[in-house]
Structure 1
Amino acid sequence: MELKDSVAVVTGANRGLGRRLTTQLLDRGAKVYAATRRPQSGNVDGAVPLHLDLTDAASIEAAARIASDATVLVNNAGIFTPTALIAGEEEAVRLEMETNYFGPLAVTRAFAPVIEANGGGAVLNVLSVLSWLHLPASGAYSAAKAASWALTGAVRQELAPRGITVSGLYVGFMDTDMAAQVPADQKSDPASVAAQALDGLEKGLPEILADEVSRQIKQSLAAPPAA
């Protein structure tokens, strides 16, 4: 699809990758709703502030009413807690799933009718290489992102007849607050990741692999689990 003159809603738009996606969408000629839990903080010049909390159904429904001209949805907002599935706190495990799986699902359910009514468009789900690589220290995050990977594939088929393409973005560590403790040489530039994501969205790619780590892990999926 053509992003110029599109109308995009970007969740988690106030920092990190979401901020880069927002500014680059604006640069490409899109109108952008910058959706955050606290719209008064971290506004992006040129974007329309929009209140949206992934864990609050009422705020999601209200956002869909306000952004009634949307043709693109970017499910970027999320959280990361280094929580193991067995030894970790159950509350944190549930929070990961509520935020990183049920949240994007609820936003997509709310905006799919809006995008369809506006002639169709696209959804971009920001996922992670940990959708495929499951490490014990981040088991809760991996489980939620793996669920969102499945969500992306199923929703892609469900929304295709309604004129809506669905793409998944996969990336390892990025140079953002979430990966502040990771060595710099192991992190991707979020501006580069955002550019690849939007290029892939315009091309209608089902999967956008934004770094070498994601490409390598995707190729290894057919290997035995022990590998």
Structure 2
Amino acid sequence: MKIAGSVALVTGANRGIGRHFAQQLLERGAAKVYATARRPELVDIPGVEVLRLDITDPKSVAAAAAAAPDVTFLINNAGVFTSQNLIAGDLDKIRLEMDTHFFGTLDVVRAFAPVLAANEGGAILNVLSAMSWLAYDGANAYGAAKAAEWSLTNGVRLELAAQGTLVTGIHLASTDTDMMAGFDIEKNDPADVVRTALDGIEAGRIEVVADDATAALKAALSADPSVLYPQVVPAS
């Protein structure tokens, strides 16, 4: 998959990582970049083609696919973070996490899969998270939804292989975007994350790990769960 000459569509392109994707795609020579958002008036990137897209609205998804029949590279970036736990959390907000990260992403993939097939296969990049692999008290709804999106990514990769579509997931730890503004912790530079993701796509990789913290977490998954969750281990 080559970025230069591609026709890309980025969901959630009005801010954060999505905005960086749209900018860097143009810098790398993409022939066209569809920058989509629920509120398209907030997209302010020179050189992009702006489309309205609410990934939780099937009619909006279908309209976007009809308006962009030349897409060869789909970037599923749109997301939400509601700071909900699973037991005492607001169930409507928990459902919003799943409706966005799992069902919304799936709806977009289903809508654009035939578009990519008609355009020689192309590629899909799903923006996942280190929390695809880690529960975190105070954000367990997000983690569950991202885990589901990771599984979705692995599944559609198999299903779309026959049409020649590369399906890649990028996992990243805390990154300096509006979504993470309230957290006083070390954060990735979103420009670095996007650069790493696009390099991975051009290299044909099916999984990209954006930072050392996420790499260490992935390595720890082979250990007993008590290593990652020592707080739940009974005192001896």
**Structure 2-normalised TM-score?**
0.94
Match of 2:88 in 1: 87
Partner of 1:201: 201
Q: 1:42 — aligned with what?
A: 43
CA contact (8 A) 1:13 1:34 kept: yes
SS at match of 2:42: coil
Tell me how far apart the structure 1 counterparts of residues 8 and 64 of structure 2 sit (CA, whole Å).
Answer: 12
| Residue segments in structure 2 that go unaligned for 5+ positions in a row | 228-236
Once superposed, which parts of structure 1, at least 4 consecutive aligned residues long, lie more than 6 Å away? none
Deviation of 1:41 (Å): 1.4
CA distance in 1, matches of 2:204, 2:16: 24
Report if the CA contact (8 A) 2:37-2:43 is conserved.
no
1:5-62 CA-to-partner distances (Å, cap 9, x unmatched) read: 1000000001000000100001111110001111111321100001110111001000
Q: TM-score, normalised by structure 1?
A: 0.98
The DSSP-based 3-state class of the residue aligned with 1:40 is helix
> How big is each residue's C-alpha offset from its partner over 1:166-212, in whole Å with a ceiling of 9 and x where there is no partner?
0001001111111112236x100000111000000111111110011
Q: Given that residues 35 and 43 in structure 2 are in contact (C-alpha distance below 8 angstroms), is that contact kept between their aligned partners in structure 1?
A: no
Shift of 1:223: 1.1
RMSD: 0.8
Q: Return the alpha-carbon distance in structure 2 between the equivalents of residues 204 and 157 of structure 1.
A: 15
Query: CA deviation digits over 1:64-123, x for unaligned, max 9?
Result: 000100000000000001100001011111010001110010000000100110111000
C-alpha contact (below 8 Å) 1:85/1:136 kept by paired residues = no
Cα distance in 1 for residues equivalent to 2:25 and 2:43: 17
Residue 207 of structure 1 aligns with an amino acid whose one-letter code is E
Quote the residue 1:223 is aligned against.
223
State the SS of the aligned residue for 1:130: helix
Contact 2:8 2:34 in 1 (8 A): yes
Quote the residue 2:112 is aligned against: 111
SS state of the match for residue 138, structure 2?
helix
Letter in 2 for 1:180: A
Q: Which residue of 2 aligns with 1:27?
A: 27
| 2:97 alignment counterpart | 96
Measured against aligned partners, the alpha-carbon deviations of 1:134-191 in whole angstroms (never above 9, x if no partner) come to 113111000000000100111111111101000001001111111112236x100000
1:198 aligned partner, one-letter code: L
Q: Please show how residues 1-227 of structure 1 align to structure 2 within 5 Å.
A: 1-30=1-30, 31-183=32-184, 186-227=186-227
Aligned partners of 2:15 and 2:42: how far apart in 1?
10
SS of corresponding position for 1:167: strand
Secondary structure at the aligned position of 1:86 is classed as coil
Cα distance in 1 for residues equivalent to 2:224 and 2:138: 21
CA distance in 2, matches of 1:100, 1:120: 23
* Paired residue total: 226
Rg bigger for which structure? Answer: 2
C-alpha separation between the residues in 2 aligned to 1:42 and 1:212?
31
Structure 1 unaligned segments of length 5 or more: list them: none
